Amino acid sequence: MGRPREFDKTEALSKATEVFWLKGYEASSLKDLIDAMGISKSSFYETYGCKQDLFLSSIDHYANTALKDMALMLESDMPGREAIAQVFLHTANRFITHATPMGCLLSNSAAELAPDCEPAKNKVVGYFQRAEEAFTKAVERGQQEGTITTDQEAKALGRFLVSSMNGLQVVGKANQDEQTLKDIVTTIIKALD
The string of pLDDT tens digits covering residues 25-49 is 889 999 999 999 988 898 889 888 8
The string of pLDDT tens digits covering residues 52-94 is 899 999 999 988 888 888 889 999 999 999 999 999 999 898 8
The string of pLDDT tens digits covering residues 175-184 is 888 899 999 9
CB 62 within 8 A of CB 120: no
Residues 6+ apart with CB under 8 A from 32: 19, 23
The string of pLDDT tens digits covering residues 97-140 is 876 667 788 888 888 876 678 888 888 888 889 999 999 999 99
**Cα 170 to Cα 3, 46, 166, 193, distances in angstroms:** 45, 35, 6, 25
Give the pLDDT of residue 64.
86
Q: Among 7, 13, 19, 8, which residue's Cα sits nearest to residue 48?
A: 13
Mean pLDDT of 166-170: 89
Give the pLDDT of residue 100.
64
